[in-house]
Amino acid sequence: MFIPVKDLNPRRTYPIVNIALILANFAVFIYQLTLPPHAFKAFLLANSTIPARLPAALAGHAPLETAILPILSSMFLHAGIAHILGNMLFLWIFGDNVEDFYGHFTYLMFYLICGIGAGLLHVLFNWNSMLPSLGASGAISGVMGAYLILYPKSRILTLVFIFLIPIPAVVILVLWFFLQFASGVSSLGMAASGGVAWWAHVGGFLLGMGITSLARQR
């Protein structure tokens, strides 16, 4: 068991946007739970990213907005309690310091751009798939990529079996990225069967690294 719990990097400002994003995700999840089963399924299908919608829209067989808008709305949907708790834990750990660097409004734009970019890469790697994809992990991967660029030496308090050990962020984040990339490569050529959107994680992470590298240079 290898679970990051808390970063030991102090922040300079109150992470109002990061907290608002976490609250928004929980609010949508609670709304999902209030829906009866048929409405719950319809809500997820309408607002999740379904890759095959984009080629259908480009061919003129469906409205373009039904393919594009869910890439944004799916970032606030989650499939279950473990899904949302895991995502929000990582956003809580890494997001506050990245918001420190960007400032509140720019951080929000950065988060959304990473999430949309991650969603588009998932669509490209699953062009004809009818399986819905949902969750904030693509955007959060972008935040993690930014953290790697900004604070590689920061310590992350990590639960390793039963011990809490401070581990450099570069170790945690590079290992995490390697696992996502390896899983993505191993899934190439296989029939889509649901599960984790590996390439959304990879794309979001690299996009977050790239944007933040450019921002640091400026």
CA 118 to CA 207: how far, in whole Å?
Answer: 8
Active-site residue, 48 included = no
CA 117 to CA 207: how far, in whole Å?
Answer: 7
Active-site residue, 201 included = yes
3-state secondary structure the chain: CEEEEEECCCCCCCCHHHHHHHHHHHHHHHHHHHCCHHHHHHHHHHHCECCCHHHHHHCCCCCCHHHHHHHHHHHHCCCCHHHHHHHHHHHHHHHHHHHHHHCHHHHHHHHHHHHHHHHHHHHHHCCCCCCCECCCHHHHHHHHHHHHHHCCCCEEEEEECCEEEEEEHHHHHHHHHHHHHHHHHHHCCCCCCCCCCHHHHHHHHHHHHHHHHHHHHC
Choice among 48, 133, 137, 187 that is catalytic = 137
Choice among 78, 122, 133, 201 that is catalytic = 201
Q: Which residues are catalytic?
A: 137, 201
